[in-house]
Structure 1
Amino acid sequence: MMGKRTVAQEALFYEFGIERHVPASHLLRSIDRFVDLSGLRTHLRPFYSEIGRPSIDPELMIIGYCFGIRSQRRLCEEVHLNLAYRWFCGLGLEGDVPDHSTFSKNRHGRFRDSDLLRELFETTVRRCIEEGLVGGEGFAVDASLIKADANKQRSAEGSEAVDWEAMAETSRSVQEYLDTLDDAAWGAASETKPKFVSRSDPAAQWTGAMKGHAFFAYATNYLIDLDNAVIIDVEASRAIRQAEVGAARTMIERAQDIFGLHPERLATDTAYGSAEMLGWLGCVGIQFWGRRKR
């Protein structure tokens, strides 16, 4: 039968160690063990004021990125309640979590030009190289589509004249697009006009590449080492093949400059095998291994 509900009597003193309540297999333990984040503070120092209230630790921002917590309010709630998050951020049991509005200002303002994610990413790749997980002899490259938050009903036809300069005065995304019109991954990627252009996010590409309903999207391009499938570099671009091919070249050059990695071969689908790309690969001494895309 159902017994009487037992109500625990609160103890007068508690002995509690947050360290032993974080599982050994938790992702944050792996990050804390293998990735040295001490350099982030030095990297971010110029973006903080020397006066005013104490700054927010960048580790709190990293939690949001690692676990896909996009809401500022929810991020604060999760850090407040989750012991592993508190342990990683060094807050203990009584440390105060910053207000969600402060997170928002950091993510969309202060850290926007700091390349925080790029710094964290390259720090992780360097550790993988040190541990012998990256061979560097062979790379693979491919792109994935990321659906943009843009509504077709508020778009303009590609041939329609739009006063983008006027819209840029009130829209940050439009201004950023105008600033990148000469970049190979964006405006200069192709002279072909898309069927539709988003008024709120003109850098997003109208695409039907998924063989279903067309939508506005970006492309996330990956450069992957073939030994252990470690991602060496990532580059965003418009969701068209010309921009993706240009992004592949950018990533290969950046891997050489930053990590000193120069592959002997590049594995990808044959859609990357344009005459310009093949000529460039031949000049830099990289073999092209193309596979027909299904």
Structure 2
Amino acid sequence: MGMGKRRRESQGELFVPSGELAASPGHAFYRRLNRLLGECGFDDAVEAACVPYYDAQGGRDSIAPGTYFRMLFVGYFEAIDSQRGIAWRCADSLSLREFLGMKLTERTPDHSTLSKTRDRLPLEVHELAFRLVLAAAAEKGLLKGKTLGVDSTTLEADAAMRSIVRKESGEDWKAYVKRLMQEAGEIEEGEEPTDEDLRRFDKKRKNKKTSNAEWESPTDPDARIARMKDGRTRLAYKAEHAIDLETELVVAAEVYHADQSDSRTLADTAMAARTHVSEAGRGEVFEEVVADKGYHSAGQLELVESLNVRTYIPEPNSPHQRRWTDKPSGLKEAVVANRRRTKTEKNSRLQKLRSERVERTFAHTCETGGARRTRLRGIEKVRKRHLIVAAAHNLAILLRSLLGAGKPKALAGLLDQLAQLLTAALDWLIRTISQQKSTDC
């Protein structure tokens, strides 16, 4: 056999017969995912919902909405956080081309196509895609919808802290500190301090703080200054998940401004979860909400209680006794009822489940799902992307129940383990037969 040499001519073939194009056998994981999406009528439903947002009179056809959502699913399953990375991965992989329904002679969508499609389709279409996945989970018996666990995390925004400016004057950090140095008499008018002088003065000045009321990012005005989980101070958003505590399905994935406290967003997230669960085909909705003490607020407790939902939210320690004389009676009743429930053994059990399983959804979506750092600007865009990442997480739970693996790499590892077990069983069988033959001789 002769050694093959790499062709170095720059010009390719003018015509390539279709018979010479080898079709990809596809990936077992993505083939099963395509079958699952087909069973729940995913493509037909999203295409029908997207009709009003396209011109029916003419023009070039866009990518299919199902292809757009599949590419975002790929971002979760392949742990890719940027649209450029998703577009490159889909163009490079034959199995992903087969998953997207793209022929070998077709060009896969570019990252700019993803951006334009996301801007064209409203949040309601993305919510529909999320609910279709929830409905598929309900049909498989994976959506119980009785007890919800709620928690939040921070998402790093696509904006740098060094880009923030003062709201009232538009000054950046250097101009602001320079003005303070002039007002303090450290430098003369027109004198230019060095970066080291600015840092030294900024370090020693009193009452130094970076407040969202005074500073904003010109590149992403919706981002807010917040402390991340690792202790860094960054521009960020807040993602809040409500999950089915029994099955770990995400039934609501809301994104808020990072300076909105947990005690202000609980009722909104609970209402979104109720809407998603009811529209996913579940006749009954959840009965209980479990959260940590950061969500404790008399007003939020009353709003959740008005939905006929019991709360299990620990009450923060306070040196002062609450006064109810100037407040509506409904606030006191909600707080007292919640306080009574948090002293039970059931609350301890539910809090353990919440701390374990809600944090696990953040690990899957943010750490291994590519959603911790958003590459989009504007809270509306971040909401769309995070909602589809949560839908992909729910698909992973569905596939784990069907295949035993929730991601392509997990399926590959499962097959490797199976191959090792079969090899070990074959070796044991051969040794047993050999020993039997030697005994007979």
Same fold (TM over 0.5): yes
Aligned to 2:41: 36
Aligned equivalent of 1:228, options 247, 271, 278: 247
1:149 paired with 2:187, answer no
**The structure with more strand, counted as a fraction of residues:** 1
Please give the alpha-carbon distance, in whole angstroms, between the structure 2 residues aligned to 1:197 and 1:33. 44
Judging by fraction of residues, say which structure has more helix: 2
Within-5 A mapping of 1:22-61 = 22-24=26-28, 26-27=29-30, 29-34=32-37, 35-37=40-42, 38-50=44-56, 51-61=58-68
After superposition, the CA RMSD in angstroms is 3.2
- Among 252, 269, 275, the residue aligned to 1:248: 269
Separation in structure 2 between the aligned mates of residue 267 and residue 227 of structure 1, nearest angstrom: 12
Report deviation, 1:137.
Answer: 1.2
- Cα deviation for residue 234 of structure 1 reads 1.1
How many Å separate the matches in 1 of 2:134 and 2:249? 8
Relative distance call for 1:73 and 1:274 in structure 2 (3 A) is: closer
TM-score (norm 1): 0.73
Unaligned runs of 5+ in 1: 164-191
| 1:222–1:231 contact (8 Å) kept in structure 2 | yes
Aligned partner of 1:49: which letter? D
Q: Which amino acid aligns with 1:154?
A: S
**Structure 1 residue 284: Cα displacement:** 2.5
What amino acid does structure 1 have at the position aligned with 2:36?
Answer: R
Give the deviation of 1:82 after TM superposition: 1.7
Match of 1:186 in 2: none
The match for 1:170 is: none
TM-fit CA distance, 1:243? 4.1
Query: Counterpart of 1:289?
Result: 312
The answer to whether the aligner puts 1:110 opposite 2:127 as a matched pair is no
Question: What count of residue pairs does the alignment treat as equivalent?
Answer: 254
CA distance 1:5–1:131, shift in 2 (3 Å): same
Aligned ranges 1:96-245 → 2 under 5 Å: 96-98=107-109, 101-107=112-118, 109-111=119-121, 113=122, 115-157=124-166, 160-161=167-168, 194=213, 196-208=215-227, 210=229, 212-239=231-258, 240-241=260-261, 242-245=263-266
Give 1:273's match in structure 2, choosing from 296, 304, 316.
296
Give 1:209 shift.
5.4
Per the alignment, do residues 213 and 31 of structure 1 end up closer, same or farther by CA in structure 2, a change over 3 Å counting?
A: same
Cα distance in structure 2, aligned partners of 1:193 and 1:55: 40
Kindly state the Cα deviation for residue 81 of structure 1 after the two structures are TM-superposed: 3.1
User: Which position in structure 1 is the counterpart of 2:14?
Assistant: none
Distance 2:32 2:301 in 1: 43
Are the counterparts in 2 of residues 76 and 97 from structure 1 also a CA contact under 8 Å? yes
Of residues 70-79 and 43-52 in structure 1, the stretch that sits farther from structure 2 once superposed is 70-79
Cα deviation, residue 223, structure 1: 1.0
Contact 2:251 / 2:277 at 8 angstroms: preserved in 1?
Answer: no
Alpha-carbon shift at residue 221 of structure 1 (Å): 0.9
SS at match of 2:313: strand
Could you tell me how far 1:121 is from its partner in structure 2?
1.0
Of 71, 77, 82 in structure 2, the residue corresponding to residue 64 of structure 1 is 71
- CA distance in 2 between counterparts of 1:121 and 1:212 reads 32
**For residues 114 and 216 of structure 1, what CA distance do their matches in structure 2 show?**
23
CA distance in 1, matches of 2:265, 2:31: 33
Which amino acid is 2:139 matched to?
A: E
Once the two structures are TM-superposed, the CA of residue 261 in structure 1 deviates from its matched residue by: 4.5
In 2, Cα distance between equivalents of 1:202 and 1:87: 39
Counterpart CA distance in 2 for 1:237 and 1:212 is: 20
TM score, norm. by length of structure 2 = 0.50
Give, in angstroms, the shift of residue 102 of structure 1: 3.8
